[in-house]
Amino acid sequence: MHDARDVEDTRLLEAKRHAELLATYYPVVVDRCRLVLPDPDAYEVAHNVAERLLRELVAGKTYGVPFRVVVHKVIDWKIKEFFTRGRVELLPEEWETEGPDPFAPFEQEYDFNLWLAGLSEREQEAVRMRYLEGLDVEEIARRLGITRNAADQLLWRAREKLRKQPGG
């Protein structure tokens, strides 16, 4: 496959059909750039690669390796140049990059509600009061309008159901 490609590249180079030659490589250049850079920057770097290659070809530069190798080398150089010219700001190593997760409370509540889904509404209410609000059994009984013993039994049944759940 490379042999046929190299023959076609040589034919286009000798015929000085530089734009046509670069057009065949441009999708590859863009794809390689998009692998490591976000879209606006990837297209900018791809354009810089094409400009450099065209400038060299028009100036009559010749290469001792197949043109496809030159293309990939120029892509590598232009991507490195992009990162070294300060476009991408990296945080200093001593900075703590992990911050608070703004979605953690939502995810915890969602997981907790999912975990309680197998309980009756009354059991869910009792478990929430006990473990989220930190209420004791007497206070749960008073809020639900039941005896302390009934509140104990309600919590006990809920815990047993939760233990039998996968991961419980």
How high is the pLDDT of residue 168? 60
Place of tokens 């057009």: 23
Which backbone phi and psi does 17 adopt, to 5 degrees?
Answer: -95, 65
Integer CA distances (angstroms), 51 to 19, 22, 47, 56, 75, in order: 10, 10, 6, 9, 11
- Spatial separation of the C-alpha atoms in residues 23 and 72, rounded to whole Å: 15
- The C-alpha R_g of the chain, in whole angstroms, comes to 33
- Spatial separation of the C-alpha atoms in residues 154 and 22, rounded to whole Å: 75
pLDDT at 144 over 70: yes
Mean pLDDT, the chain, integer = 85
Burial annotation 14-29 (CB, 10 A radius, 16+ → b, else e): eeeebeebbeebbeeb
pLDDT digits (tens, 9 = 90+) for 152-168: 999 999 999 988 887 66
pLDDT at 37 over 90: no
Q: Which of 3-7, 48-52, 78-82 has the highest mean pLDDT?
A: 48-52
How high is the pLDDT of residue 86? 54
- Spatial separation of the C-alpha atoms in residues 9 and 92, rounded to whole Å: 45
Domain with CATH 1.10.1740 in the chain: 2-84
Local structure of residue 103 (DSSP, 8 states): T
pLDDT band of 80, cuts 50, 70, 90: confident
Percent of the chain with pLDDT over 90: 33
Contact 2, 69 (CB under 8 A): no
**Residue 153 CB neighbours (<10 A):** 13
Q: What is the rounded average pLDDT of the residues 75-89?
A: 75
Two tokens at 125?
Answer: 């209410």
Domain with CATH 1.10.10.10 in the chain: 115-164
pLDDT at 69 over 70: yes
We find that the CATH architecture of domain 2-84 is Orthogonal Bundle (1.10)
Two tokens at 73?
Answer: 């080398």
pLDDT band of 114, cuts 50, 70, 90: confident
pLDDT at 1 over 60: no
- Spatial separation of the C-alpha atoms in residues 77 and 38, rounded to whole Å: 17
How far apart are the two ends of the chain, measured CA to CA in Å?
58
| CATH of range 115-164; options 3.30.70.1070, 3.40.50.1820, 1.10.150.120, 1.10.10.10 | 1.10.10.10
